[in-house]
Structure formats: C-alpha cells, structure tokens
C-alpha cells in the first residue's frame, strides 16, 4: 500500500506589479518552490505589470510536504534578477479546500528571517535526580540549510538558549550540511517558564549574522518523556512585526491537493478485468448496460479530462488502447445524427482521443511542427490579414522612407503565411512513416467506423474530417498557438509572433474542417489564403489516405523518451571538478538505458543501464560554480557506486530530467541518502566528511516527480483513480443500473484479505452492490 500526494498547480496571471526597470515596467516570471526546493520556473513575460502565464503543472511528491511558495521575479539581463514578492500556500490551506484553491493572493515582501529551510538532528535529555536535574541538548548535524553567502554556502553555528542562559557551538565554515556533535547542559529549573530554543545562525565576519532557523521545545512536556531524538524542521522567526512595504501586486493561482492511497494491483484486478472484457467484446449490442457506457454517462465537464487520461493509460498498459477508443467511437456515432457535429463536443470520446494523441504522439508532434514553429520565432515577421488590425509603418532605407499601404501589408503577410503553411503541409505529407503505428491503427479504425455510419456520397468528406478533427483541431492547432505548453519552445511568444502563430493555427483549422467556403463566410479577411488552403485540403486528404493504408504491426509502446543536449562530467575522471570540465553530448533516455552521442544523428553508446541507477539528485551550486547540475549515482560492474554529473541549462530542464530518471527507476533499490556536493581532495564539499563511501548527508528525493504526457504507465495508480471516480458517482450510476457484471468478478479474492484498508474495502463493496 503506497501513499503519495499530487499537486495540481496553475499559475494564471499577475496584476498591479511594481515597476522594477527604468522603463517603468518589469519582466516578470515565477519560481515555484515546494518546501524551499525550486521545482518550476514559468516563462518571462516581457515589459508588463500585468503578466499572463496560464501555465499548468502537476507535481507528485511524498505526503509529508508543508507548503508551496510562488516567488515573482523581475528578469534582468545584466544584473541579478529582482525579487518582487512571494505568496505561500500551506498544506493546511489546501486540505481545507478539497476541491482546490482558486483566487487572487496579495504578494508579500521577502523577509530574510522567514526564508529558512532544512532540518537539524537533536537529542533532548532530562538527567539526574529530583534534587539536581540537568537538561542536556545534543546537537549532531543539520542538512539543507539556506545559502546566505556569495560562495553558495553558509558558515553555520548553533545558539542554545534556556532559562536566560545562552551557549554556542563552533562555526562550521562553508557548509550547508554541518556536523557539530556537541553537547550543551543546563540546570533544570522546574519553575522556569522559558522554553528551550535552538537557533541556527550563519556567522559573518563583517556584517551581522544571518538567521537560518530555530526549533523550540516545551521542557515541561519533555520531562515526562525523559529523552527525545530525531530530525526537526527549522522554523522561521515570526516574533518580529511585519513592515508593510506598500502594494506589491497580486497573483492569481489555482492549486489543488490530492492524496492517494494506492493498494497492491491484485485488489484492482476484478475492475481491470471487467473493463478489458467489455473492450475486447467490442461495440456489439447485447442488452446489457456496460461499465464503459456508465463512465461515459456519468463524467462531468470538470472531471472528464482526468478520467479520459486515466482510461487511456490503463488500456495502453493492457495493449487495448485502439479497442477502447473504437468502443467510444461507436458510442459517439450512435448518439450523432448530424455529421457536422461529430466529435466537436468535449465528450469522453473526444477527450480520450485527445489524451491518446498527447500520450503517444508528442515526439511525432515535435518532428512535424518543430521546424515551422522555430522558423516563425526566428524570423519575427509582422503578419496581419485582418484590415481592422493592420498597423501602417514606414519602409525603405535611410532617406527613402515611405508609408506602407494596407494592401501591401496584407499582400506581404499572405506570402509569408502561404510559405509557412506550404512548408508545414510538406512536412506533414512526409511524416506518414514517422507517425507511431498505434496512432495510425487508431485513425484507420476511426476512418472505417465513420465511413460505415455515413455511407452516403454526400458525406464522403466526413470520414476525413473525423480524422482531422483530432489531428488538426485538437493536436496540431493548439500546439501551434501555445508552443511552450507543448514543449516546442522554452518561452512564450511575444505579441507579434503570437499573432503569426494564431493566423497559422487558424489556417490549419480551416484545412482540418475541409470547408474553405464556410471559413470564408465566417472570416472574410482570410480570403487571400484560400487558394493555398484549398490546395492544402487536397494534400491533407492524400496524407490521410496513405496514413490509414499502412498495415504495420503495432509494436510495444514506449511512453518514456527524453532527449537533448547536456554537459557531462564523469565523477571518476581525473582533474579538477570545474564547470569548464563538462563535455557537451546529446543524451537519450529510453526504458532500458541512458545513452549519449556527439550529435543527435550520431550512433549512440550505452552510458548507464537503468537497473544500475541508485539515485538522481541535484548538486549544490557551489560544487561546480554553476547552477542546474544533477548527479546520477549508479553501480558499476564490480558493484561500486560511481557518480556522473550532468549540467542542464535551466531549472525546468533539470527537474524534467530528474523526474524522468526517477520514474524509470521506480522499481530500483534506490539510496536513502546522498551527498549533494562533490568529493574534492580528501573530503566531501557539502559536509566535509573524509569517508568517500560513507552515508550521505542529505536525504534523497526520488518521490518528487513532475507529471508529463510521456510518463511511464502506472497500472495500479490508474486503476485507483478510475475506481475513485466510480465510487464518487455511485449514486448517479444507480439511476442507470446496478453494476451487474461486478457481482461475480472475483469477489472473494478482493475482500478476503485482512490487509485491505477498511474504507477502501467498504467502498468497493458499495460499488459492487
């Protein structure tokens, strides 16, 4: 039985931010931290005080986290980025809003005394007889302390206060993982009301010491325990009154917490088997009310996307994705009388097919759209077809300026858009062989179903439109309009590029609708593009005909595939550990190994077998003098642990690689601790230990991952999420019919085990009765 939490985060927008630049504006972006660890960085929105991001993330993490913080920053090209303000959302707040928190929160100033992090290892003891009792405080070590100095570390010491007496530890230089192993004793005063306070400080030679956090104990309560030992979270100092620095603006957020208890797979087998049996039986009518039909009828708009993705992943894992989607196609067709409305609503069939394309076709999407989208970003052309939005500007060289007319702007824009659209259609036409076999097989089945349902000659285009309604309208077009959300680009487009992408997306939508006349009637200013669109429609039909005509055997689907350029430094290599010692290579992560090559097209060499990986963690910034470095700890042939260091270009890429590595190694025997520094000379840079093979000074975080479309399949989790949905709508399902087929589906196998949680066992019982 596994427990985990999932955080859905949507950073919507900000407003009334203060100006940080001399231009009277700012270049804001957000850093999202979970318990002071940076997980996400949004794109920068340039030159605005009311930025819109609209970025969504889902983070999986252990249920022990405390808070998620949002830091709004102003990006500066030549100096350190300015901090505008922060918003902190605690776990308690999210627990109080089970449907999620959605609203505006005011930004607050950054108080250094509240920016604390890390834990300290302590032992508190009550010694001696009643006549002369002693209070002993043993301070062993601390981990993950805040970095307060320019060298990326701190010089921590401990200050222990009790009954108006203060004692201090030695200072550990340049470490955020100090080890003191010192003991402090005080005379225990039964009448004293003061609590035992252990504070951690960063020692500074010139300026005042920086506060790193504290732990407070109620000694009156500890006297009954006699001894208390463990790791304690450092807390901020909230004794100082907050100074109001004026309005720092506000941030609109949507944050939802979901805690899941996932049972062993055997408990979900009857449910999974029943779903698979229905899908294998196909869409035949036998008079019974099907479970898939009940799910289709009971999903609401707010949960349909989540249910769809869970079902798609469950059936992908069972090798029945095509059959599942075919069943939904048939259910949708049975409810559709007008071909013009087919698959246009956000039904379970539409959402499932949309999710299926994102899960299985992201790499294909990048190969098709990437070149054209990159060209649009690189060329930054001014393009506008709508006369009401055309901006008249001067053209020509010095001394020969003239005003460009509206017709000239539209003519020039048409030529540019025709070029982009033509290039994109050529790439699409050439992509038949690169389209994943499982997508081609599903489109072939969809084409066949629609052709059978609308056989009349007047509906000869409907079967093509059914395919393009998903491929163009729900896959290509959204990615063109929002390339960052589909990982086609790292940053949002500026206003000019956004307009070009929008016009190109409209053109692709028109091609997907295969009705140029209707588009011309709706938006007449698109008329200059009509000849190219008409030609593109013919090309698209030819492409679909070839796409569904390929009879290839569907191979096993590999969901996880991540690749890109990274800089590598082998931990066992010779020479100094400097940022300049990294070598740039192209890495590729598959379900078997992490491999590399000099270029994307070069032959890849196996680097690390995934089964040998023991941890994938971040490295302290001070270790190499550069940010965004991760380490992979793996076992070599003799079984010795080795380290490889990979440098990423930003925090998002760093967490993307860490997340992907942790997911594919979920069944490995992972380490519980590691060293976030490097072994230099004769000691670790993080904790100054001299034993290279000793236990690490920080805990590993292999339970923290980011949700991605290409995540590995997790059949137990997907089954749990489907079950949770079914139980949530059980009253509604009773209106349709009792789930007859569940009554004899291995009832004894599920409920005979005494290890099954009572709540979940009762839920499954109710669902079946």
What confidence tier does 734 reach under pLDDT thresholds 50, 70, 90?
A: low
Give every CB contact of residue 193 below 8 A, 6+ residues apart in sequence. none
Alpha-carbon distance 550 to 390, whole Å?
Answer: 45
DSSP per residue over 510-551, as a string?
A: HHHHT-HHHHHHH-GGGGGGHHHHHHHHHHHHHHHHHHHH--
Cβ atoms of 29 and 73 within 8 Å: the answer is: yes
SS (H, E, C) 255-288: EEEEEEEECCHHHCHHHHHHHHHHHHHCCCCCCC
Residue 280: phi and psi, rounded to 5, are -65, -35
Place of tokens 């016009």: 503
Decide which of 218 and 199 is more confident: 199
Range of lowest pLDDT (354-363, 656-665, 722-731)? 722-731
pLDDT for position 768: 44
Alpha-carbon distance 144 to 700, whole Å?
Answer: 12
Alpha-carbon distance 31 to 217, whole Å?
Answer: 33
pLDDT for position 519: 60
Which helix (H) or strand (E) covers residue 231, if one does?
Answer: strand 227-233
For the chain, give the mean pLDDT.
Answer: 85
pLDDT for position 99: 87
- Half-sphere exposure in the Cβ direction for 67 (13 Å, CA): 14
Alpha-carbon distance 8 to 92, whole Å?
Answer: 16
Range of lowest pLDDT (277-291, 369-383, 504-518)? 277-291
pLDDT for position 392: 77
Cβ atoms of 107 and 248 within 8 Å: the answer is: yes
pLDDT for position 557: 46
Decide which of 477 and 342 is more confident: 477
Question: What number of H helices and E strands is found in the chain?
Answer: 20, 30
pLDDT for position 39: 92
Range of lowest pLDDT (175-184, 210-219, 248-257, 401-410)? 401-410
Decide which of 622 and 253 is more confident: 253
Bridge partners of 525?
A: none
Alpha-carbon distance 684 to 77, whole Å?
Answer: 34
Range of lowest pLDDT (481-495, 585-599, 626-640)? 585-599
pLDDT for position 574: 45
Range of lowest pLDDT (96-105, 308-317, 623-632, 737-746)? 737-746
Give every CB contact of residue 466 below 8 A, 6+ residues apart in sequence. 342, 343, 446, 447, 450
Tell me the residue ranges of DSSP E strands in 603-748: 605-609, 613-618, 629-635, 641-647, 673-674, 679-680, 683-684, 698-699, 705-706
pLDDT for position 334: 87
Cβ atoms of 134 and 248 within 8 Å: the answer is: no
Decide which of 730 and 442 is more confident: 442
pLDDT for position 161: 93
> Average of pLDDT values for 608-628?
89
705 DSSP 8-state letter: E
Cβ atoms of 686 and 677 within 8 Å: the answer is: yes
Alpha-carbon distance 538 to 544, whole Å?
Answer: 10
Nearest partner of 634 among 659, 608, 656, judged by Cα: 608
- Half-sphere exposure in the Cβ direction for 538 (13 Å, CA): 6
pLDDT for position 289: 59
Which helix (H) or strand (E) covers residue 720, if one does?
Answer: helix 715-728
Q: Is the pTM of this model over 0.75?
A: yes
Alpha-carbon distance 640 to 353, whole Å?
Answer: 46
- Mapped onto helix, strand or coil, the DSSP state of residue 732 is helix
Which helix (H) or strand (E) covers residue 379, if one does?
Answer: helix 348-379
Give 617: exposed, middle or buried? Use CB within 10 Å, 0-12, 13-18, 19+.
buried
């Amino acid at each position: 039985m596994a427990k985990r939490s999932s955080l859905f985060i949507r950073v919507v927008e900000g407003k009334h931010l203060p100006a940080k630049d001399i231009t009277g504006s700012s270049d804001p972006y957000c850093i999202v931290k979970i318990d002071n660890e940076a997980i996400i960085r949004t794109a920068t929105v340039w030159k605005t005080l009311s930025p819109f991001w609209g970025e969504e993330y889902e983070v999986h993490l252990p249920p022990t986290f405390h808070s998620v913080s949002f830091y709004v920053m102003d990006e500066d090209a030549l100096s350190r980025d300015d901090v505008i303000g922060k918003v902190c959302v605690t776990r308690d707040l999210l627990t109080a809003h089970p449907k999620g928190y959605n609203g505006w929160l005011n930004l607050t100033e950054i108080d250094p005394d509240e920016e604390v992090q890390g834990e300290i290892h302590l032992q508190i003891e009550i010694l001696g007889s009643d006549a002369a009792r002693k209070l002993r405080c043993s301070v062993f070590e601390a981990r993950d302390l805040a970095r307060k100095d320019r060298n990326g570390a701190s010089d921590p010491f401990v200050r222990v206060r009790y009954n108006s007496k203060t004692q201090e530890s030695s200072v550990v230089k340049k470490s955020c993982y100090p080890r003191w192993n010192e003991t402090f004793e005080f005379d225990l005063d039964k009448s004293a009301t003061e609590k035992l306070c252990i504070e951690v400080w960063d020692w500074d030679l010139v300026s005042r010491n920086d506060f790193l956090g504290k732990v407070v104990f109620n000694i009156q309560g500890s006297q009954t325990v006699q001894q208390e030992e463990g790791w304690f979270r450092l807390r901020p100092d909230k004794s100082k009154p907050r100074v109001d620095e004026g309005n720092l603006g506000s941030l609109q957020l949507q944050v939802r917490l979901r805690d899941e208890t996932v049972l062993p797979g055997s408990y979900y087998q009857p449910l999974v088997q029943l779903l698979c049996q229905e899908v294998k039986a196909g869409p035949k009518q036998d008079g019974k009310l099907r479970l898939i039909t009940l799910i289709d009828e009971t999903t609401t708009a707010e949960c349909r996307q989540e249910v769809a993705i869970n079902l798609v992943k469950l059936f992908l894992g069972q090798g029945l994705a095509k059959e599942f989607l075919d069943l939904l196609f048939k259910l949708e067709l049975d409810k559709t009388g007008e071909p013009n409305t087919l698959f246009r609503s956000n039904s379970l069939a539409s959402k499932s097919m949309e999710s299926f394309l994102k899960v299985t076709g992201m790499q294909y999407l990048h190969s098709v759209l990437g070149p054209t989208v990159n060209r649009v970003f690189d060329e930054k052309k001014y393009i506008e077809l709508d006369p009401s939005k055309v901006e008249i500007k001067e053209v020509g060289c010095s001394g020969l300026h003239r005003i460009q007319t509206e017709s000239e702007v539209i003519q020039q824009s048409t030529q540019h858009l025709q070029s982009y659209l033509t290039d994109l259609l050529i790439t699409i036409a050439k992509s038949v062989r690169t389209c994943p076999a499982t997508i081609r097989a599903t489109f072939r089945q969809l084409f066949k179903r629609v052709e059978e349902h609308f056989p009349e000659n007047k509906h000869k285009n409907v079967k093509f439109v059914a395919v393009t309604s998903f491929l163009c309208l729900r896959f290509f077009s959204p990615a063109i309009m929002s390339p960052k959300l589909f990982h086609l680009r790292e940053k949002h487009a500026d206003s000019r590029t956004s307009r070009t992408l929008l016009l190109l997306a409209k053109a692709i939508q028109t091609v997907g609708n295969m009705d140029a006349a209707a588009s011309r009637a709706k938006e007449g200013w698109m008329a200059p593009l009509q000849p190219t669109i008409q030609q593109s429609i013919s090309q698209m039909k030819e492409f679909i005909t070839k796409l569904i005509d390929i009879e290839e055997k569907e191979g096993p689907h590999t969901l996880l595939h991540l690749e890109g350029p990274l800089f590598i430094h082998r931990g066992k290599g010779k020479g100094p550990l400097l940022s300049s010692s990294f070598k740039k290579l192209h890495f590729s992560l598959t379900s078997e190994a992490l491999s590399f090559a000099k270029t994307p097209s070069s032959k890849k060499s196996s680097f690390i077998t995934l089964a040998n990986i023991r941890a994938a963690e971040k490295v302290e910034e001070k270790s190499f003098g550069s940010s965004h470095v991760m380490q992979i700890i793996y076992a070599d042939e003799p079984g010795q642990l080795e380290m490889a260091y990979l440098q990423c270009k930003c925090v998002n890429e760093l967490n993307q690689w860490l997340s992907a590595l942790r997911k594919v190694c979920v069944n490995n025997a992972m380490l519980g601790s590691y060293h976030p520094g490097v072994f230099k000379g004769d000691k670790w840079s993080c904790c100054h230990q001299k034993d290279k093979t000793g236990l690490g000074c920080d805990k590993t975080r292999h339970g923290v991952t980011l949700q991605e479309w290409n995540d590995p399949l997790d059949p137990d989790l997907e089954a749990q999420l489907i079950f949770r949905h079914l139980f949530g709508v059980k009253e509604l399902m009773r209106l349709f019919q009792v789930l007859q087929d569940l009554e004899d589906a291995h009832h004894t196998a599920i409920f005979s085990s005494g290890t099954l949680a009572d709540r979940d066992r009762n839920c499954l019982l109710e669902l079946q009765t």
